[in-house]
Amino acid sequence: MQANLPRIAAYLAGGLLLSSLLRRRSREVVVYEVPDVDFDDEVRQLPWATITMAAAGFVAGGAFLANELRARRGGYGGSTVEESIDIDVPVSTAYNQWTQFEEFPRFMSSVEQVRQVDDTHLHWRATVGGKTKEWDSEITEQIPDQRIAWRSTSGPSNSGVVTFHRLGENRTRVMLQMDYQPEGAAERAADTVGAVKLSAKGNLKRFKNLLEARGKESGAWRGTVTH
């Protein structure tokens, strides 16, 4: 038990730290009161859902604290998100619509604007961690109906690839993999609780809804890019 005390203390401290950070970000003021009751009796009266959520919060807090310590030592290596969705359109339709980069704000919740500079370069503006950020990216690989890969060339570090898989004549699986480097404690906190993963999942769902409702792409670029 004594050997586990440092780990338990880290989770508790991390949970409190994460909670404090999120409260500051939302400008909420919370006052905690500790009632004079027997702890064991109180725990027995708590619903299991509450206990599970509390435990998850402390685990996330512990992970966040560990990430912060690694970040201060220069050892925070970034994160990876992998998501996929099946869309009831032909593979060429899904691919063609994804090449319309300037329409990304229609389904990407945090993206405010994408400006296509030329065939392989984009300029982005988005809200990240409550702040407006801008960066440039380069298309490093583009094969029609198969894949589009990119990497940032300025600003927040990110890279990734989206691939398109034919499941049937009118059904396509879109798979997204993204590597990114959170900047600052607030972004690392969001990363710890899976905010970026949820955002990616929501973006793909909105892409699906947009494309299925329209039934066809709004445009296409069928060029090939290789490096």
Q: What is the pLDDT of residue 181?
A: 85
Tell me phi and psi for residue 215, to 5 degrees: 85, -10
Which bin fits 74, alpha (ψ -120 to 50), beta or left (φ > 0)? Answer: left
Tokens of 162: 């989206």
**Cα(76)–Cα(66) distance, integer angstroms:** 10
Q: What is the pLDDT of residue 194?
A: 64
Give the residue, 89 or 32, on which the prediction is more confident: 89
- The alpha carbon of 209 is separated from its chain's Cα centroid by a whole number of angstroms, namely 19
What's this model's pTM, rounded to 2 decimal places?
Answer: 0.68
The helix-helix angle for 195-214 and 91-98 (nearest 10°) equals: 120
**Cα(17)–Cα(50) distance, integer angstroms:** 20
pLDDT reading at 127 higher than 60: yes
Q: What is the pLDDT of residue 189?
A: 67
Tokens of 32: 């905690």
Q: What is the pLDDT of residue 2?
A: 53
Tokens of 211: 């494309």
Mean pLDDT computed over 188-213: 84
Single-letter code of the amino acid located at 121? H
Q: What is the pLDDT of residue 29?
A: 41
Alpha-helical segments (H) within the chain: 5-26, 39-45, 48-72, 91-98, 184-192, 195-214
Domains (ranges, CATH) in the chain? 2-72 (no CATH), 79-214 (3.30.530.20)
The percentage of residues in the chain with a pLDDT greater than 70, rounded to a whole number, is: 61
